[in-house]
Chains A and B, each alone.
Chain A
Amino acid sequence: MKPIRLLIDKLYKIRALNKAKPMLDAMDAAMFGTDETTRGKPHIVDTIDTKRYMSCAIAALVPAALASVYFYGFRAIMIIAVSYAAGLFVEFMFAVIRKHKIHEGFLVTGLIFPLVLPPTTPLWIVAVGVMFGVFFGKEVFGGTGRNIFNPALVGRLFITIAFPAIMTTNWQDPLTDAITSATPLSVYNSEGIMAPYLDLLIGTQPGSMGETCRIAIILGGIFLMFTRVGNWRIPVCYIGSVFIAALAGNHFLPEKIAPPLFQVLTGGLLFGAMFMATDPVTSPFSKAGKYFFGISCGILTVLIRSFSANVEGVMFSIVIMNAFTPLIDYIVLKFKFRPVKI
C-alpha cells in the first residue's frame, strides 16, 4: 500500500493536476477511505455513510452481474466496462467544472444500467445511454442526491425511445446464443404461451442481461433488505400489488392479463422492484409514501404490460412514480404534521 500512498501524495503536489483534484480525491478515498468527519450536529454513532450504502448496493448487485457474465460471457463484461468508462467520464467532467467531489452514487448507476440492457446492445449505444442518464438524469439537477429520476432508468428509456429497432427486438437466447425477437412476455402477448417457471427462475429465457437470472436477483434483494440499505416496503408492495392486480385481472380478462406468478417472474419486475424502485434518492422517505409508491408502481406495471403497445412496463412505471415522489412526501407530511387547533 505504501507505494500507492506515496504516488497519490506526489500527484497532489503536481501543479498541472490541480484542476483534476476531485479525481485524485476519489482515488485517494477509494484506496484509503476518508478521514473526514461530519461538522455540525446531529451526530449519529454509526459509520454508515453514502460510501457504505453504495458498497452494500453494489454487493447486492454482484450475483446478478455474475449471472449475466455466466450467461452472456465476454460481451457482458464489455458492456459493463463501457458503461463505467463512459459514465465516469461525464462524472469526472462535472466534478472538475463544478468543483465538487465525485460521488460514489455513480458506481451503482454504472452497474445497474448495463444489467437492464439487452445483451446484444452495440457498445456505442451503451455509452450514449449511460452518458445521457448521468448528464440529464443526475448532473443537470445538481448531482447525487438531488436527482428526480433514477439516472440508470433515464438512460435506458432514452435509448429505448431513440433506437427502438435495436433495443426491443434484438434479444439473445442464453442457451443457443441465437438472436430472437421474442422474450417470454412478448411470446405470451402474441401467442399466449407461457415459459416454464423454472426456466424463468434460473435465467435460461431471453431478456435483459442482469434481469433473467431471478435467483441471483432475489439473493441480492434479500441481502439489500437484510442490511436495510434498501427498504423492504417498496419491493414487497410493488411485487405484491403486481401479484394481486394480476390475480384479479387474470380472473376477469384472462386473454389480456397474464397470470400472477408469470407476471412476477418475467421481464424486469424483480430487478426493478429490488434495485431501482428502492433508490433512496428517488423514492419517498415517509413510510406511508413508500407503501403508496410501491402499490402504484405495481398497478401501473400491470396496466402498461396488458393494455399498451409496450411489452414491458417496469421502467415506465418507476419513472412515472419517481416524478410523483416529492408530491407523495409532501402530502404525507401535510397529513401527519398538521398544526394543532386551539
Chain B
Amino acid sequence: MVLKKLFGPEGYKILKKGIWREHPIFAAGLGICSALAVSNKVENAVAMGAGVTFVLIATAIIVSTLRSLIPQRVRIITYMITIASFVIIVDKFLKAFFPVISESVGPYVGLIITNCIIMGRAEAFYIQNKVYHSVLDAVSNGLSYSYTLITIAIVREVLGFGTLLGFRVMPGGWENWVVMTMAPGAFFLLGLALWISRAIAERGSAEEEA
C-alpha cells in the first residue's frame, strides 16, 4: 500500500472514490456530452482528457484556496470565471501547438466550460475542502474521465477508421464501420461500458456488505 502511505489515508480514499466508486461518467452521469462527441479518435480523446484534467486541477486549486473568501451568493459565477479563464488557456495552447487536433476537437474545447464534471466537483467538493484534498479529487476525476474517453475512443477508432492513433491496424480488406464515427456509435459503446461497470460495481458492493 505504497499509495496509501504516499497520499495519506484520507487522500487515498478520495483518489479511490474518484477513479471507481464515484466515477464521474459511470456513477454520476456527468460529462457525457463531451464523452460522446470527442471520443471518435484516440488523439482527440487524449487531448480532451488532458485539457479537462488540467482545468479541473487548476479550478480545484483556485476555488479551494479562495473558498472562505467566495461569497455564498456569487459562487457559481466565480466557478464560471475561473473555469473559463483556464479553458481559454487550453484552447490557445492547442491552437498554437496542435492545430490539427484543435481543428477536429473544435468547439468542444470551448465547451469544457460547461462540462458538468468541473462545475459539479467545484460545487460538491472544492468549495468545502482543503487544497491538497481538492487537488487529489481533481486528479482522480480527470484521470477517470480520460481513461473512459480513451477506452471508448480506441474501440471507435479501430472499428470506424481501421486505425489507432493514425496508424493502420486493421487488414487491407477492412470495411469501416461508419456508424462508429458518428454519435450513435458512441451512445451504444458508452451504454455498454456503463452497463459493464455498473455490474462490476454492484458485485463489489455486495461482497463488501457480506
Contact = CB atoms under 8 A, between A and B. Distances in A.
A324 interface: no
B179 A158 contact: yes
B177 A163 contact: yes
Contacts of B188: 136
State the main secondary structure of chain B at its contact with A: helix
A164 B176 CA distance: 10
Interface in A87-145: 122, 125, 136, 140
Contacts, number: 20
A114 B180 CA distance: 23
A161 B180 CA distance: 9
Given A136-B188, A161-B184, A166 B178 contact: no
Contacts of A166: 175
B175 A161 contact: no
Interface in A11-52: none
A166 B182 CA distance: 18
A164 B178 contact: yes
State the main secondary structure of chain A at its contact with B: helix
B179 to A, nearest CB: 4
A253 interface: no
A288 interface: no
A174 B184 CA distance: 34
Nearest to A159: B179
B196 to A, nearest CB: 13
A320 interface: no
A170 B189 CA distance: 28
A283 B197 CA distance: 33
A165 B174 CA distance: 13
Interface in B148-187: 175, 177-180, 182, 184-185
A262 B145 CA distance: 53
Residue of B177, B182, B184, B191 contacting most chain A CB atoms (<10 Å): B177
Given A161-B178, A162-B185, 9 more contacts: A122-B175, A158-B179, A161-B184, A162-B177, A162-B179, A162-B180, A163-B178, A164-B178, A166-B175
6 contacts: A136-B188, A161-B179, A161-B184, A162-B177, A163-B178, A164-B178
